[in-house]
Amino acid sequence: MYTKEELINEIMQIRHEIGHEDVIPEIKEIHYDDDELTIITPDRPEKSIIIGKGGWVVGKLREKLKINQIHIVAYTDLILKEYQIGLSIKHVKTLLDENKIKEEYITPFTNIYELLKLKHESIYNKSIIEKYIEENIDNDVIDEAKCYIALSGGADSSFSTILAKALGFNVKCVSVFAGTIILPSKFQRNINNLCAKLDIEHEYLQTDMNEIIQEALNGKIHPCGKCSSHTQSVINNKLEKENVPLVIYGDLLSTGSRSIIIDDNITRINLPALFRMEKTEIKHINKKYDVEKIKGYGCPLIVQVHEKYPHNKQFSIQRVLRETRSGILEPGEALELIKTI
């Protein structure tokens, strides 16, 4: 494999050949494993130099090196990610040490703890979670470790379903259904395909959100907050009725101590946030499990609200910016989402 100096020369040559500005890129570290190269730059400006406009430079570099994938990572981003995963490790260890995890869930929580430590030790390696899933997805689950997953058919909740099964949870997926204006057929297709592929039980929970829908269409509210609260309420009622004390959501933002919340004897795990996942990592894993990438932002209801009441777009854009600031979304991905809004 190439040395740092040789890679720098290759990048400079490619930039010159395609008419980019002649600059000397800085590389802090390189790591090569399983036909994947990770290049760590000191900061984001150096990362941009190696990626190039439209990804041309890194694309041509991958072709020239004839390897499967190249990841360009800014060290400043790694510091934040490493710190947040460290918080997750501390939180899970505290819950285990203080016997706050019910006995039937000890094994999957121990699996979480060990996988977090592995990711923390190999912070530059973006394949850790993917490899773990591949090695464990077909293992027997722990029957007593029952949990529900709030599955919307989107990328984050689909990933949560895949990882939860690999961790050993006895998974059942539930999807709150209030009509296709909130859960359209393309999301239902993802739900049905994923559950069939993983042989996971699934149930649609029928509910009435007409009041929320009408308030949104009449311009009184931005619907996402009330919709989320209503969805959580329906799922909590189902958990209590079935005496299942654990639920998993696809929340990406609630990192650290908020990634696992124990409240009223119900444990909620925000699984992507717990592992400090990024959208690109999630989508890459989902592809292998027939989860269709759904373009655009949100459900048909929010699209109609944006069209009728443009001032509401600012609240949706703020959500995208929050994920961008946290490092979950790359700026290019965020820009594409904002364009659809």
Three-class SS state of 200:
coil
- Average pLDDT score over residue span 286-306: 92
Where do the structural domains in the chain lie, given as residue ranges?
4-67, 80-294
pLDDT tens for 143-156 read 999 999 999 999 99
Topology of domain 80-294, per CATH? Rossmann fold (3.40.50)
Under the banding of pLDDT at 50, 70 and 90, the label for residue 124 is confident
What's the rounded mean pLDDT across residues 315-319?
93
Q: Where are the beta strands (DSSP E) in the chain?
A: 29-33, 36-41, 69-74, 146-150, 170-177, 201-206, 246-249, 260-263, 266-270
What's the pLDDT at 85?
96
Distance separating alpha carbons of residues 88 and 44, to the nearest angstrom: 25
- In angstroms, the CA 216 to CA 109 distance is 40
Is 90 exceeded by the pLDDT of residue 54? no
pLDDT of amino acid 123: 87
For 327, phi then psi, to 5°, come to 90, 0
Residue 280 in this model has a pLDDT that exceeds 90: no
% of the chain with per-residue pLDDT over 90:
78
pTM: 0.90
What per-residue confidence (pLDDT) applies to 79? 92
* Residue 305 near residue 222, CB atoms below 8 Å: yes
Residue with token string 């989902």? 286
Taking only the tens place, the pLDDT of each residue in 227-279 is 999 999 999 999 999 999 999 999 999 988 999 999 888 999 999 999 999 99
Q: What local confidence, expressed as pLDDT, does residue 220 receive? A: 94
At residue 18, the 3 state secondary structure works out as coil
